[in-house]
């Protein structure tokens, strides 16, 4: 667990480092250009730091996933999330389907086949797994009895996981490609109604997430329940990455995506996960007391 903590803190530090680089260092070269050491840090950051938080995030969720569901299952999720997302991203950057016409810049590391940064599939993995774990805990917290073990719960968990991942993109995508951002990470070659982005982008996100989450759950044959998942890891990853995207959105004046991420993502997580966890624990405690009392009366 200490290693997971260390990786998570490194992930947070890399997110902050990235925000400082994008919002302060890039638009204000006078801060670092006169100092050779700071210039080296800037050059290194431009070359490697863009993907550093993604690497740490993927490592954090890989270990947390192994702790929750075992190495075999988390590696199944990793393989499906990275290979399927990479395949669809390569298709998307080559044909414009299913996300729309877009292309990546060089800010996220070297590109596979010259089109998709290697860090992008890792991003799909760690945010996908965090979203799916949170969804599973939310569904478990709301449902009780035999329904928890039925196929309906599995379907609900996958669909909610897809929803949370798409909501994260609602606040991330508009900022990362915005003209006013000092350093863009991808560019759209077609216009759309969502802050210049096509709606089909989010349909593509939902379809991609549904594919690898649904296949992973089918192969897992088990639900990621509370007795397995350490809550703070997926919650911390999701909140931190949403906050990162929100700061970028705020920096270019995109306030509606921030509001949407709170209303459609963070508030449902708070309402569907945290309070039920306390209620479920109290209910279990009361049931245990009643059981002990009935056994004593016999």
* pLDDT-based confidence at residue 144 (cuts at 50, 70, 90): low
Tell me, what DSSP letter sits at residue 150?
S
pLDDT more than 90, % of the chain: 70
Length of the chain: 298
- Whether pLDDT at 188 is above 70: yes
Residues 15, 240: contact at Cβ < 8 Å? yes
Highest mean pLDDT of the ranges 87-91, 108-112, 276-280: 87-91
Which whole number is the average pLDDT over 22-38? 90
**Is it the case that residue 288 has pLDDT exceeding 80?**
no
pTM equals: 0.89
The predicted structure's pLDDT at residue 194: 97
200 contacts 96 by C-beta, under 8 angstroms: no
Q: What is the pLDDT of residue 282?
A: 38
The DSSP symbol for 288 reads H
For 231, the token pair is: 């809550």
The predicted model gives 270-295 an average pLDDT of 50
**What phi, psi does 188 have (nearest 5°)?**
-95, 135
Q: What is the pLDDT of residue 149?
A: 57
Q: What is the largest distance, in Å, between two alpha-carbon atoms of the chain?
A: 84
Q: Report pLDDT digits (tens) over 72-108.
A: 999 999 999 999 999 999 999 999 999 999 999 988 9
Closest CA to 240 of 3, 18, 82, 41: 18
Categorize the per-residue pLDDT at 151 as very low, low, confident or very high, splitting at 50, 70 and 90. Answer: confident
Report whether 19 contacts 68 (CB < 8 A). no
CA distances from 264 to 15, 44, 165, 174 (A): 23, 37, 11, 16
Give pLDDT, residue 152. Answer: 85
Q: What is the pLDDT of residue 225?
A: 66
The lowest-confidence range among 70-79, 149-158, 169-178, 234-243 is 149-158
Calpha distance 275→252 (Å, rounded): 34
Name every residue whose Cβ is closer than 8 Å to that of residue 98 and which is 6 or more positions away in sequence. 88, 91, 92, 200, 203, 204, 207, 208
User: d(Cα 78, Cα 53) in Å, to the nearest integer?
Assistant: 17
- Mean of the per-residue pLDDT values for the chain? 88
Name the least confident of 68-77, 116-125, 202-211, 227-236: 227-236
Where do we find the tokens 């399927």?
A: 84
Euclidean distance between CA atoms 22 and 53, whole angstroms: 14
* Among 120-129, 146-155, 253-262, 280-289, the least confident range: 280-289
Section 151-156 average pLDDT = 88
Residue 292: is its pLDDT beyond 50?
Answer: no
Residue 284 has pLDDT above 50, yes or no: no
Burial, 46: exposed, middle or buried (Cβ in 10 Å; 0-12, 13-18, 19+)?
middle
Torsion of CA 220, 222, 223, 228, to 10 degrees: -100
């Amino acid at each position: 667990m200490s290693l997971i903590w260390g990786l998570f803190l490194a992930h947070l530090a890399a997110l902050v480092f990235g925000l400082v680089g994008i919002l302060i260092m890039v638009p204000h070269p006078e801060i670092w250009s006169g100092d050779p050491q700071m210039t080296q840090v800037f050059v290194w950051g431009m070359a490697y730091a863009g993907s550093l938080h993604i690497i740490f995030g993927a490592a954090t969720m890989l270990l947390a996933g192994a702790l929750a569901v075992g190495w075999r299952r988390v590696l199944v999720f990793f393989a499906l999330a990275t290979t399927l997302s990479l395949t669809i991203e390569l298709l998307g950057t080559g044909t414009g389907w299913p996300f729309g016409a877009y292309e990546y810049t060089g800010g996220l590391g070297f590109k596979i086949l010259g089109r998709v940064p290697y860090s992008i599939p890792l991003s799909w993995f760690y945010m996908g797994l965090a979203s799916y774990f949170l969804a599973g805990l939310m569904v478990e917290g709301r449902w009780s009895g035999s329904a928890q073990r039925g196929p309906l719960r599995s379907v609900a968990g996958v669909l909610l996981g897809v929803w949370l991942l798409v909501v994260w993109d609602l606040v991330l995508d508009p900022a990362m490609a915005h003209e006013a951002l000092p350093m863009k990470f991808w560019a759209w070659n077609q216009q759309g109604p969502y802050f210049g982005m096509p709606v089909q982008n989010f349909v593509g996100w939902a379809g991609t997430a549904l594919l690898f989450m649904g296949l992973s759950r089918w192969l897992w044959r088990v639900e990621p329940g509370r007795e397995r998942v350490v809550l703070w890891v997926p919650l911390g990853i999701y909140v931190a990455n949403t906050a990162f995207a929100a700061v970028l959105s705020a920096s270019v004046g995109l306030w509606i995506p921030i509001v949407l991420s709170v209303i459609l993502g963070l508030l449902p997580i708070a309402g569907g996960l945290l309070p039920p966890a306390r209620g479920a624990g109290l209910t279990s405690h009361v049931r245990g007391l009643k059981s002990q009392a009935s056994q004593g009366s016999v």
